[in-house]
Amino acid sequence: MKPWDSLLALLPEEWRDCLLRSPRTILAQVQELRVRQGQPVLAYGVFGERVLTAAGLSTEWNRMVVAQPEQIKHLLATISQNSIYALEAELRSGYVTMTGGHRIGLSGRAVTENGRVRTLKYISSFNIRLARQVVGCASTLLPALFTADGQLCSTLLVAPPQGGKTTMLRDLVRSLSWGTDCPRPYKLVVVDERSELAACYQGVPQLDIGPRADVLDACPKAEGMMMALRSLSPEVLVTDEIGRREDAEAIEEALHCGVAVLATAHGSSWEELLRRPALKDLLLRGSFTRFVLLSTRHGPGTIEAVLDDKQRSVGR
């Protein structure tokens, strides 16, 4: 129940009571709560989809709890601490990170200025993603990311959406920062554009990323990587979900500076990655020397294969 502690305080009392009537085994697997005004409250996780009912999370839609306008107002008030204007910068990005590291995506009417989103209003939909750290999930993977002489390889974790790549990357950061399951501890900089890896709240990581990791929170990836190289002297640079050409250019710059890079990308195969123009050149140049393919076959974060830059298997 620990991941729920800080989140339950945000929710309307009725939803809170309903959720707590769910089996603990189900609550432990929840990854997202989806709330839409006038629609049922839905939960997603390893179990698939469940609907909130008076008896807890269930598959019985005829007993569903529907999100009422006053409950939407309550949720927005608790998220914003009764000051929606204080969230204007976060609303431009479409999400807010709360204490405990939970990330809440919001949707409503976009207010634009000079062709760019300035804020959101009439917010009526929420995607509540629970911050849940799986400590130790990278312990079997980490040895395969080192060369025979103990050098950490620049590594790309590849998985479909919700395939566990961010969770795996976070645990790699924790292990390297503490020096667990690896030859020695490392200094790392995490460029956390979406505030998911470290789940910072007011600049402080809410999840364990170890004592030797600095975080550039809510910072664009390419710009953050350059900032890190200029001023934070990392041995390892970490970022999530690369895909733009400027991301690839920043990674190349880091590698030329002798810094190892750990990153993730959406995909399910090497061939799929090569169809993405911004990544193709980066991959074919051998910038990454390890590729970890993850799937959801036995739950998120299933390690399907660890390959080198010649696509030879170096792990399961």
Task: Indicate the fold that domain 142-315 takes in CATH.
Answer: Rossmann fold (3.40.50)
Is 311 exposed, middle or buried (CB count within 10 Å of its CB: 0-12, 13-18, 19+)? exposed
Percentage of the residues of the chain whose pLDDT score is greater than 90: 60
90: its two tokens: 């976060």
- Kind of pairing, strands 116-129 and 213-217? unpaired
Reference 240, options 261, 209, 270, 269; nearest CA is 261
What is the DSSP secondary-structure string of 232-244? Answer: T--SEEEES---S
Same fold for the domain at 2-129 and the one at 142-315? no
pLDDT tens-digit readout, 52-109: 999 999 999 999 999 999 999 999 889 887 666 667 767 777 888 888 788 899 898 8
239: its two tokens: 């970022």
Q: Where are the domains of the chain?
A: 2-129, 142-315
Consecutive sets of 10 residues in the chain, 316 residues long: mean pLDDT of each? 79 95 92 96 93 96 95 91 68 79 87 78 91 90 95 95 90 98 96 90 90 95 96 97 92 94 91 87 89 85 86 64
**What is the CA angle 253-255-258, rounded to 5?**
115
165: its two tokens: 């790549």
CATH number, span 2-129 = 3.30.450
CA–CA dist 24, 55 (Å, integer): 13
CA–CA dist 208, 101 (Å, integer): 11
pTM summary value: 0.81
pLDDT, residue 86, reads 61
Q: From edge to edge, which strands make up the β-sheet containing 116-129?
A: 56-58, 48-53, 42-45, 30-36, 116-129, 103-113, 95-97
CA–CA dist 194, 36 (Å, integer): 22
